[in-house]
């Protein structure tokens, strides 16, 4: 299994607009072969100093894929290219961590 943490930082004040586009694209991603999990997450409230927040303009995409091949196909999917085109001007940066199980 492949795990992905994608940290998306929107331009100031644009996170909700990016999340709207992201959520609209989720059904197509969930229908892909090998998709186990694909969902956005934002900072939880109320954890004080124990937490290192991403901030109000960022969200994290938590993904699980059955195989490297499934993730590669996801990256090349036409709906992902369309999503990227719709959000390109709204995103300040993205950092993608691709991980394998350490257990």
Q: What is the 3-state secondary structure (H, E, C) of 29-50?
A: HHCCCCEEEEEEECCCCCCHHH
- Entry pTM: 0.92
Half-sphere exposure of 17 (CA within 13 A, CB side): 12
Tell me if the domain spanning 2-43+53-100 has CATH number 3.30.70.100.
yes
**Whether residue 81 has pLDDT greater than 90:** yes
Residue 41 confidence (pLDDT): 98
Note the pLDDT tens digit of each residue in 8-44: 999 999 999 999 999 999 999 999 999 999 999 999 9
DSSP single-letter state for residue 102: -
Domain ranges of the chain: 2-43+53-100
Measure the CA–CA gap between 89 and 53, rounded to whole angstroms. Answer: 24
Mean pLDDT for all residues in the chain: 97
Backbone dihedral angles phi then psi of residue 9, each to the nearest 5 degrees: -115, 115
């Amino acid at each position: 299994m492949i795990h992905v943490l994608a940290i998306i930082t929107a331009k100031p004040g644009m996170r909700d607009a990016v999340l709207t586009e992201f959520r609209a694209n989720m059904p197509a991603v969930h229908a892909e072969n090998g998709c186990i999990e694909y969902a956005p997450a934002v900072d939880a409230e109320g954890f004080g100093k124990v937490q290192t927040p991403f901030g109000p303009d960022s969200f994290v995409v938590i993904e699980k894929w059955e195989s490297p091949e499934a993730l590669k196909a996801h990256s090349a999917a036409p709906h992902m290219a369309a999503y990227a085109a719709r959000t390109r001007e709204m995103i300040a940066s993205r950092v993608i961590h691709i991980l394998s199980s350490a257990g």
